[in-house]
Structure 1
Amino acid sequence: MNKAFFGLLIFLFSGITYAQTNIRPGIRLGFNSANISNTTLDNKIGPNAAIFVDFRFSRHYSLQPEIMYSRQGGKSNIRTNEDLDIDYLSFGVVNKFFVAPNQGLHLILGPSLDFDFENNLINVINETNDSDVTPLDLSFFFGIGYEFDFGLVLEARYKQGLLDIDLFDEDFESDFYRGEGNTLNNVFQFGVAYKFDLR
């Protein structure tokens, strides 16, 4: 019993020590291919950028909180109408599961809370409540990536919005909304990241 207890303590402390010596901040730049379900909008290409901190707890797992700017929405296929641009500030929790120890291939899984900061900031300044979409979205994402020893990371993700963004503007709905089902964000994200080694 005592041996098992001390073995558990050694395991826990070694994990904490490993995590403390493997905390690496980083930046990521990339692009989105975004669309909104149940609309006639086409895929829209937009930028994304993030800052993050990677906590490597073991050879198989790391936790990466991040703050991301992500331009989403959809592209109008009607010449007389403008595209729908939604600029989100996203707070995500990325879980990375490495396929094999000491190898860079990993799977990505996590949630994010997305704040439509541009429309909300304009509304606060103008003291109005006039926006085409809801101010918040809750998303779930998954993907795959590869991490090189020197800090370069390549990633591809799919991000699915879980809340109806409520395209309530009448002019917008008459042109693009199909009239049935929820309007949800759907985004493919591709990015190149670099993790800084502060040791």
Structure 2
Amino acid sequence: MRKIIFLLLVVYAGTLKGQELKFGVKAGLNLSSLRYDPEPPINFKLKPGFHIGGIFQYKLSEKFALESQLLYSQQGVKTQLENVMLYGSNPGDPFIGPPNGITVEATTMLNYINLPILAKYYFKEGLFVNLGPQLGYLINAKAEEKNVKFDMKEYYTDIDLGLNGGLGYEFPNGIIVNANYYLGLYDIYDVKSPFIEQEVKQNVIQFSVGYLF
């Protein structure tokens, strides 16, 4: 994985020679979830979060540009498990919950430093599409249930890799509005067990506002 990261950085750096650099900032809303295979009997909800960071853009022509971003991003998923039965703390204790069980809700919080490297195509003045790979580094991972947080970093890989694509508009004054979708292609679940065979990959929808200097 380190070789892949190094190769991406070298290839990208090689494109910068002789190009005009623009830089800027961006921030916005994340709506994230996780894809499980096989899928457990749990209801999944989008988890809101935010992203913030910097933009580095190199305009190759009127129609094409290369752009990298360095972002702090809050990701994860909300889960809901219905009709959970409660029993006493000792084996054989009677059922102590309501007749139909209870609903247990939890939130998985995955915080990343992300590096998208995007090709941008301007098909109309100011209006563009962007597509490219994204590399993510996990800073921390926690699960929260009833305001109690648990450290979950040992259950997830440090690295994530996927594709990022979207649509946006760049105003003449440098303001950018953008909607992106991130499709995780890398299995981030790091539990190795003969009894648990499960892949976990990420989905993130982003709505951003930025400014190019």
**Structure 1 residue 59, shift from structure 2 partner:** 0.3
Deviation of 1:167 after TM superposition, in Å, equals 6.0
| 1:166 corresponding residue in structure 2 | 189
**Per residue, is there more helix in 1 or in 2?**
1
Give the one of 75, 80, 88 matched to 2:78.
75
Establish whether residue 184 from structure 1 lines up as the match of residue 187 from structure 2.
Answer: no
- Aligned-pair distance for 1:182? 2.5
Does the residue aligned with 1:131 lie in a helix, a strand or coil?
Answer: helix
Instruction: Give the deviation of 1:94 after TM superposition.
Output: 1.5
| 1:190–1:43 CA distance, 2 compared to 1 (3 A) | same
How far residue 132 of structure 1 moved from its aligned partner, in angstroms, is: 2.4
> For the aligned residues, what is the CA RMSD?
2.5
- TM (norm. structure 1) is 0.73
For the residue of structure 1 that corresponds to 2:140, the secondary structure is helix
Which one-letter code corresponds to 1:37 in the other structure? R
User: Please, which runs of 5 or more residues in structure 1 have no aligned partner?
Assistant: 1-15, 120-128, 171-178
CA distance in 2, matches of 1:49, 1:89: 10
State how far apart, in whole Å, the 2-side matches of 1:148 and 1:142 are. 20
Considering fraction of residues, name the structure with more strand: 2
2:25 aligned residue: 27
- Does structure 1 conserve the Cα–Cα contact (< 8 Å) formed by 2:116 and 2:164? no
- In the TM superposition, what are the counterparts of 1:1-199 in structure 2 within 5 Å? 19-20=19-20, 23-38=21-36, 39=39, 40=42, 41-78=44-81, 80-100=104-124, 103-119=125-141, 131-166=154-189, 168=191, 182-196=199-213
Report the identity percentage: 27
Tell me the TM-score normalised to structure 2 length.
Answer: 0.68
Which sections of structure 2, spanning at least 5 residues, go unmatched?
Answer: 1-16, 82-102, 142-151
1:133 Cα offset (Å): 1.3
For residues 36-66 of structure 1, give each alpha carbon's deviation from its aligned partner in whole angstroms, at most 9, with x where no partner exists. 0125331101101120111111100111111
Q: Per-residue CA shift, 1:82-106, capped at 9, x if unaligned? A: 3100001011211110003xx1000
